[in-house]
Amino acid sequence: MSDDPLASIENGLKPYRGRYPTFERLPERGRGRDEVLRELEEMAREEAPRWEKGFASGAVYHGDREHVDFLSRVYAIHSQSNPLHVDLWPSATKFEAEIVAMTGAMLRHPEPVGTVTSGGTESILLAMKAYRDRSGLRDAQIVAPDSAHAAFDKAASVFGMELVKVPVADDLRADVAAMEAALTDRTVVVVGSSPGFPHGLVDPIEELSELARSRGIGFHSDACLGGFVLPFAERLGHDVPPFDFRLPGVTSMSCDTHKFGYAAKGTSVVLYRDADLRHHQYFTVTDWPGGLYMSPTFAGSRPGALSAACWAAMVTIGEEGYLEAARRIVETASRIKDGIGAIDGLRVLGDPLFNVAFASADERLDIYRVMDAMSKRGWSLNGLHRPPCLHICTTLRHTQPGVADRLLADLGESVAEVRGNPESEGGMAPVYGMAGSLPDRSVVAGFLRGFMDMWYRV
């Protein structure tokens, strides 16, 4: 591995250098629209095949061309809409109120209360802010399993809260007894995942939420990933433990409409048990010279077109459409699980419903080198830590004919390749290995900051 692990990554991150004009300042004269459109279309055509053909884990959850074109038309119709100015665009209040109502009803809320946000991270941050502000504590505490989404780390950092991370149990789900032992008089919210991003496993939400309720503490069920799959999988007869508002201890939820809700990227929903908790999310200024100011979420101006596209996706797909999508996804994920389990040297972690994590069953087999071998074959899988493993989040893209078979065949070949050449260098394996083994996390954080710097390097 080179002294600078970023050096080998930059070319892949910046493939258009030298192929298209680069702008470090505004062009003296504006370019022709036809020329700009041609370049944009060329880049899109080059990038589309990997996600269209199902080579990506998650990322694009629907991707059917007819659906994408429909959402693009909706976006174009409402491209100037801004929910900050509801007097000009009252349609935005219709769309967002109905998105919240439909999502809440799906998640068993008798009288849905919530808001539309820009994504799962904002939904989680807003919920944590609401709990902190309701408590009035400056040192409010979040207790969460260490498998909970990184957005909870961000929330703690942004709002000056303490995040207590509790190691998961042997089954990689939240350890209820250990979570109980971590509670203090400063704990304002307990967190569980439905399911968690790393391993695709649903935490024991019923036990955790009841624990929180018995102590008078809020409980957040993070269903960003599973909110539009689990309710329909349950209707299909799959074993889905209760995770939503039917549990009296669940006081808030996050659910991403831009994942398995099949909306365009940039929308999610945060839901609350009651309006009082939602009020602690809001922001108001009553004495500003610019007039009365209010913002239900973090942003002021927001793209109303995204809410319109989200609403359009939900009402055109409907319950039957989501039920059929869940059936196809869960059936495909089951085939993938069985196929991975049959590959010598690999083991599936737990019994995930659609987000399938797998690790090496042979200490001589480096799972991150398997990831690199899959990358060479066009696949974009997620590398994970604790334990070292990979996952593939099964989407409608993977339910296309032949995709699951291709994944399993390529995975078998990749395992054989790594076994035949275990000392190969390059790729992301050394980076993941370094990140997983270094005790000084500041070194890893420095690497990540350098990686983000590279995004903005023209």
Rounded Cα–Cα distance for residues 382 and 81 (Å) = 35
Q: Which of 134, 148, 95 has its CA nearest to residue 273?
A: 134
- The strand ranges marked E within 104-229 are 113-117, 141-145, 162-166, 187-193, 218-222
**pLDDT, tens digit, for every residue of 207-242?**
999 999 999 999 999 999 999 999 999 999 999 999
H-state helical runs in 343-402: 367-376
H-state helical runs in 171-254: 176-182, 205-214, 230-235
Q: Which of 403, 401, 379 has its CA nearest to residue 391?
A: 379
Q: Encoding tokens for residue 397?
A: 């893209």
Region 258-264: mean pLDDT is 98
Per the document, the length of the chain is 458
Residues in a beta bridge with 358: 348, 390
Return the H-helix or E-strand segment holding 323: helix 304-341
Question: What pLDDT is recorded for position 447?
Answer: 86
pLDDT over 90 at 161, yes or no: yes
**pLDDT, tens digit, for every residue of 406-436?**
999 999 999 999 999 877 665 666 666 656 6
State the pTM of this model. 0.95
Cα separation values, 191 from 129, 148, 183, Å: 14, 8, 12
**Angle of helix 304-341 relative to helix 403-420, nearest 10 degrees?**
60
State the pairing for strand pair 218-222/252-255: parallel
